[in-house]
Structure 1
Amino acid sequence: MSILKSKYLKALFGFIAPFAVGFHSSAQTTMAPNPIITNIYTADPSAHVWKDGRLYLYPSHDIDPPRGCDLMDQYHVYSTDDMVNWTDHGEILRASQVPWGRPEGGFMWAPDCAFKNGTYYYYFPHPTGAGDLWNSTWKIGVATSKKPASDFAVQGYIPGIESLIDPCIFIDDDSTAYFYQGGGGRCLGGKLKDNMMEIDGTMKPMAGLTDFHEGTWVHKRNGVYYLSYPDNTDPGGNQMRYATSNNPLGPWTSKGVYMEQTGCGTNHGSIVEYKGQWYAFYHNSILSGNGNLRSVCVDKLYYNEDGTIQMVKQTRENGTPYGGTPRKVPGVIEAEDYNDGGQGKGYSDSDPTNTQGKYRLNEGVDIESYSSGNYSIGNTSDGEFTNYTIEVITPGIYDIQCIVASGVTNGGGFHIEMDNRKVTGKLVVPNKGWSTWQTITAGSIPLTKGIHVFKFFTYGGMNVDKFKFVDAMHAYFQTPISIPGTFQAEHFDTGGEGVSYHDTEAANKTAAFRTTEGVDIETCSEGGYSISWMQPGEWLGYTINVAKTAKYDIITRAAADAGGSFHIEIDNTDVTGTLLVPGGGWQAWKNVTAASIDLQEGLHILKLATNGGMNLNAFTVSESFPLSVKGITDAPLSVFPNPSSDGKFHFQVPEPGDLIIADTSGKVIYHQKLSLKSPTVDLSQKTKGIYIASLTTKGNTYRCKLMSVN
């Protein structure tokens, strides 16, 4: 088993282990820390579980030093039986062994492997054209072996297909093999003949995919086919998206994003189940700081009950606090005081030396002095980052004021992550000169109390001085609103105009509540208070704490005289589109429902932005439940009035049974065996809000939602 030893990696770790390339003990963790492959640079991981019970990984290989993607070559195979210790089985194929390949070699891009009828089939893209003809002469080569990690011999290539890359092979439960390829925004699929070397019929476009880029992967779960791929999102490309179908060749229904960008300008992944746990494989460049020298990573992947994929949390080692103590928030953090741990942990820099020679001399981050005793980070480039362990003393919504400068023609840029999750898009640093410090603010970042890792990720050239964490906004009752739950519209966050709300007038015209702020609040016909005189462009912000990642229904209690409209944002992203408020009067309250909204566990800002005149009373956010679940039927359980203004609900049930009513947290508030088909249930003494009624009979279960506004 031969190993290519990277000079850069040797500088990082001091040695290269010959076989167990993870360097980790299973007694300490259930998975190797990311990146899992550290002896060479690898990308485009294709993961499979074979008959020997091991998980095998077939990645591409970024040769160091790189020349774009030109020099990718010399495929290796890795395997594990515990997700902790990874074995490098050595090189299995290189360009010089491809009889029909381009004479210059290289260009051995993302591969895949399949097993059928006792043979392993290894698929790889490689062009035949020399010089600049490579991009129009791609072939998908096939090598075979009786072993999963050695003795592969090239048999030829698949004839009659387009010049595209990124082969993917999926074998269905009936042993039918399907072949996919793509690139440049196109994704094609078709059946393979039994010889696994020819297409059975023709290749056809995969319909229904949103923003497809390249890197197809297909897997199956519970009878549903999943097609995943990176999209074209910039900057920092590429998010991982997925779509589902009841047919391996589509048409497909796009389901959204399951992984954010990894920061290296590309991504390419696979999804596989191993020993009862699903995993998402992908790559990033945190070890090298160079987008052409990538490293394979893996994280656990989870599904919701309805089969949708939860957002994958990218894990990595983030180093330890510089000086041993986390930086306090609110407060100021000096840019040069990034975490200890070195390349890929405390920071990522594209050059292994501190070219400016100041402060932390034995590390790769370029630190310079700009006045007596003051330092800043300089010479940043695309894909570099620094990590900072922080301790949030006061939870809330923060503005992070970044003191930066740039002298490059098109300016620089950055984004911010918290605990390896992006909390901003790209923020631009205009070109005003290297010595002209600017304050670029990343606003409305929710932070819970305790320890977090703040990551500053750069695009292009700039200098970085410090970061000021300013406590900008609090929940009205100091504690974030619990979701699922019900809350009043007048309990928007504190912070003032432009921070926690925007109102077109400075005065509270109706002055019934919170009289020193600009939001117009009046008494409500349903009790308490409501927001009034809402005009186009006005908005209200609420800090919420979501109990678990799931789909939720957001019910807004609103009224309008001649009809109004609004939308709801989560963390500044519109998640509902325009919602209409029926007319009928300023106190003619109606429920406006936004169904099945994806919410991630943790703190977020829910913002209601109005597009037209309306009044606003309350919100109820409850976990969605599917309308078509085996053994459950909603429609026959009829209830009126719903919503109920007096807390009394009249049921029309198809048959007697056991009626249970619970709140959105699952707490049972009513339980009664029904012998009548038209009972009345009195919830007038309960808190107004959303409840779920469940009627169980001899053969069925019926459910519906109740809303009490008494």
Structure 2
Amino acid sequence: MFKKFKVLLVLMIVCLALPSSLAYAYQNPKTLSNEWPTYGSGDPYVLKFKGVYYLYVSTKDSETGIKAWSSTDLVNWTYVGLVATDPLTKGAYAPEVIYWNGYFYMYTSPGGGGHYVLRSESPTGPFTIQTPNKGLTIDGHVFIDDDGQWYFYRAEHGQIIAHRMSDPYTFGPGVNTGASINGGWTEGATVIKRNGKYFMTYTGNHVHSPAYRVDYAVSNNPLTGFVPATNQNPVLISTEGPTIGLGHNSLVTGPDLDSLYMFYHDWRGYTPEGWPIRSTNMDRVVWNGDKMIVLGPTATFQPDPAQPDFQDRFNRTTIGSSWSNVNGGNWGIYNQELMWQNSMGATTWYKQVTNASTATNYTAEFHTKQMARGTSASPKYGVTFSYIDENNYGVALLSSKYNRVETNFVVNGVSQGWVNADLPAGFDYSKWHNIRVEKAGTEFKIYVDHMLKVTRSANLAGGKVGYLTEDTHADFAYVAFSNKVGGSSAWDAYKPVPGKIEAVHYMSGGEGVAYHDTTPENIGGQYRKDGVDIRVNPEGGYNVGWNQSGEWLKYRVNVASTGAYDVTFRMATTMNGVQIRLWDGTTDLTGIVSVPNTGGWDAWRSITVHNVPLTQGPRELRVEFVTGEADFASMEFHHHVAVPHLTDNFNDNNSDGWKRWEGNWSVSNGQYHSAGGTFAKTTFGNDNWANYTVEADIKMNEAGGDAGLIIRGKNPANGLERGQGNADFMQGYYAYIKTDGVYLGKQNYSWSNLTGVATPLAINTWHRMKVTVNGTNIKVYVGDMNVPKIDYNDYSPTAFTHGKVGLRTAHKSTSFDNFTLYP
């Protein structure tokens, strides 16, 4: 055991005292009512339909039926019962549901024994079996592209397989997408399309491993060419702490129509009967260009998902004062769930528009279906937006006669011309369909059933939204708009601290409120359209550039608990004497922080400031550029934990405080032994230790393999568990010796050789190794404790700045002694 100091681990339960303007109701993990007993809620999938969310989870292996819950806010869930009860749904794995043309199609793999397709006319069932067993492995997922083409994705060893579909029941040949978790078992795919690119999240390792995690990959093709996001992966992981074994996610748009949320499960071990226990979790996803960032995993209270700025579910008996009629028509409310208009026979555009108006940029969502079509030349129905008056508005109308969506804008009384887009063959206008409008500047994107159909420009501002008909009897359901678009809701979201914040995600509000910038325009012309200067970052996404003396940027954060934190700024500059400072209101948190000349505007460096006091709850932090000029990419917060001075000489023949992850470890004769024959690691300490020196005596008992010290290790797991056979189940650095030299590498659930130096080292001889980490510099000493064998700077975007210590071997019998750690 450690002789000089004892390490006390304190579990802090956070009770947030927050302003009433913010709702903080959810905390991971989430326990749902009526979960499967001793099983919980694994493989969560969330469908949004007409403004209501439906959550489906896997079925306990011994039970039959599929359970579901509903919600309007993603926080409060109501159990809706068994949505499928067919005997074939016994142990139904990972049920996913997609809506198309009036039907809800469910894909599930009962007991993992091939896939079945079920169908219902309601998201709450009853879902009935439509196909024989289609075979194929588990975790089916369906994605529909903008052209209406369907794709089916499923799990496989070392890859995610995709199939082009000819209809909801028929799968073509399988294709390797390129997405993989390090060549091991890969499952749980989810695909979304964003700005013309396809993003796939997926999960790997055994579902009951703490190292179950989420990666993502990007492609220009929905079938092939998915390239893992190396600098971002794993995008979600936690192997220790309150939630572990995180994975099998789904992605869903939040109530504000703009935010994106990741639902995933954690793993809590087994019941005495041997059943796995899992729970549902939810965290926010934000974007910086093509960089997907999960603001988690979190286990403290977080802000509830934001609601839209306007929404109407028509849950009343009359249309009411929130709407205004334009040009007449016979309008009404049916069953307190929808609005209708049934006057036909004329070519008049009958409209109902909201009295509420959008901002200049917004997202709007509408739901509509045709009840009857007239005999005029062009009967149609649909939506209006940016409506100011009859001389200024936009429309997106569905035409069952011509099977298309028709769009037009009128600006100052002048028609901008009709632009139409065909809809898929067999499009059933008598069923509910979704129309979505995204407006950013003068650009409008118009989606039908999540398919991007029209992109065009018009010189219109914001305005009212509404429904209209021409010679058509139509029904209209849930409508909403949000004054956010294209992910801009991330700017004002309260990002969790500890956590990482992208520099471009400063608040909205403009000059003097969200930022101070000495130039009125965005010099770089990228990402945002205000006065802050933003450019493309070669490390991915965008960064804030051209930051001058006296300029500042403000960020919203949600601090988990009051205390000290370390803050790591990602900066680049060619100037000497650059200084920055971090503020909370009028409180100077850091004092003057010097930023070194990094040698180039694309030569990024991580600069960590330690022991910064932060106050619990929602805060607005301000980054000030005091002197000089520097580019700014991100800042990351860790709890500040002082590094103790401790030793362990193992003379008491135990390894108290060390956690063994794999391999064969033992203590005897006052030494800590790894038996060799495979890879092995053991760790000690705190994930939030930053700068320190660690030393140990190492004796190689055989010629092959390697042995050494773990530095800044986090998220370790057993790489041999459940047949994984992966030596790199950890994030951190490994300084090690072999008979031919001294080496340094990096693990991030993959392996990267960093550097090494050749020097002969004898077996059966004690070698003293010392490693000092300070900022992003790593010095490795062997034998000579004054001159390092390795002096390495990790300037990469995946540099590790905090983590615990440990010992590691790979296929080498090794003895360790006289372990020492000090600040």
Q: Does TM, scored on the shorter chain, surpass 0.5?
A: no
Asked which structure has the greater RCO (Cα within 8 Å, sep 6+), the reply is 2
TM-score (norm 2): 0.37
TM-score (norm 1): 0.43
